[in-house]
Amino acid sequence: MPDDLEQMWADLAPVGRSAVSGGYFRQPFLDAERELAAWFVEQAAARGLAVETDGFGNQVAWWGPPDHDAVLTGSHLDSVLDGGAYDGPLGVVSAFAALDLLRERGVVPRRRVGVAAFVEEEGSRFGQACLGSRLATGAISWETARALRDRDGVALGDVVEGVVEGVVEGGSSTLLAGVSAYVELHVEQGRDLVDRGEPVGVASEIWPHGRWRLDVTGEANHAGSTRMEDRSDPMLTYAMTALAANKRARLTGQRATFGRVEVTPNGTNAIASRVTAWLDARASTDQALADLVATVERQAVERAGRDGTSVALTAESVSAAVAFDPALTAGRPWPVLPTQAGHDAGILSAAGIPSAMLFVRNPTGVSHSPAEHAETADCLAGVVALADVLEGLVGR
């Protein structure tokens, strides 16, 4: 017998969990995440589902007639560094549980149903968010992706096979061939459902967002013997840019975050020669995002002129606004809310696959943190909601 939702959750709970923080380290193609990929195959086998894997590491477990009209659900199994348990895995576990519920209801699908686990959704290892779904849809080419490197200098092309048998010319996967709809369940990343007193909601859209690398170059020197007025300190330029980005985002109701910084030579008693920092920016419209990033760049350049440093801002990934297909969840009683977080559903929607997202209430409102949480009763309500949507799409 396949595991139920609570048993599946119990099986996943210890995998990749830090004994110190209680957070999760499930980076793509490393031990913990690979253990979860093996668990995915086991759960599929327990349900008699055929697993298909592409050359990039994306997995789909299929149920139903092998035709060319399929409905996909699922999410991802990787995490951010020291992340929460629910972001990603809840969608995969709930997808398996929803299929179990459909079978209990006696549903015989007239279309194939797939449970997907996309790799590197968080971008925590190779720096590109939703990398697996971007590769699967052809939004990024294998030639570009294979050169991406992690913090240890390991290239993606040295970790996965990439373009092999079963992958179409041009570097995109055949895994999504025939998929005509995608429904992703996810823990809410915010407190909207808490404020509404509702266990489940449906997404209306994803804000446009992206990641930019800020390189600030100065001159290394002694922290004690160099007069303050004689310095070319890139740390000052970075610090003032981070403050300016925060102020601009607050004034305009947008989002700007510097969450990762690398300093060279990173010595306590040395002025840095170089600071590299990564800006995560999100906004309510594509134009608002462009304006936000342009303002941050302008202020960084102006500050560099005063500090005697130089700056360069380079886009590493940018996703336009995504509006989800309301027809997939039409007639449902759930509240509708936007999301500022990126998801694989956004990538599939941008590729022309009608997509929808369901959210399960998060009592803390916290995500990308060990404090991320969802109550079991709400998770079970999410399974019922997902099964209802899938039943409406695949029929009896």
Q: Which of 298, 317, 313 is nearest to 217 (CA)?
A: 313
Mean pLDDT of 299-324: 96
**Partners of 213 in beta bridges:** 278, 314
Mean pLDDT of 175-203: 96
> pLDDT digit string (tens) for 124-163?
999 999 999 999 999 999 999 999 999 999 999 999 988 6
The rounded mean pLDDT for the chain is 94
Phi/psi at 15 (5° precision) = -75, 115
> pLDDT digit string (tens) for 325-347?
999 999 999 999 999 999 999 99
**Partners of 182 in beta bridges:** 72, 355
> Is pLDDT of 68 > 80?
no
Interatomic CA distance for residues 385 and 334, integer angstroms: 9
Instruction: Say if CB 40 and CB 96 are below 8 A apart.
Output: no
> Is pLDDT of 67 > 90?
no
Mean pLDDT of 201-224: 96
Interatomic CA distance for residues 223 and 221, integer angstroms: 6
Residue 165 has what pLDDT? Answer: 44
Q: Which of 172, 191, 204, 152 is nearest to 337 (CA)?
A: 204
Looking only at the bridges linking them, the beta strands covering 270-271 and 310-319 are unpaired
> Is pLDDT of 168 > 70?
no
> Is pLDDT of 58 > 60?
yes
Which of the residue ranges 1-10, 190-199, 288-297, 383-392 would you say has the lowest mean pLDDT?
1-10
Residue 119 has what pLDDT? Answer: 97
Half-sphere exposure of 376 (CA within 13 A, CB side): 7
Mean pLDDT of 190-213: 95
> Is pLDDT of 167 > 60?
no
**What Cα–Cα distance (Å) separates residue 10 from each residue in 5, 7, 14, 93, 343?**
9, 5, 8, 11, 25
Query: How many Å is the Cα radius of gyration of the chain?
Result: 22
Interatomic CA distance for residues 11 and 7, integer angstroms: 6
> pLDDT digit string (tens) for 80-114?
999 999 999 999 999 999 999 999 999 999 999 99
Interatomic CA distance for residues 123 and 120, integer angstroms: 5
**Partners of 72 in beta bridges:** 114, 182
Interatomic CA distance for residues 311 and 238, integer angstroms: 9
Interatomic CA distance for residues 39 and 19, integer angstroms: 21
Task: State the pLDDT confidence band at 19, using cuts at 50, 70 and 90.
Answer: very high
**All structural domains of the chain:** 5-207+321-394 (3.40.630.10), 209-318 (3.30.70.360)
Structure tokens at 218: 């100065």
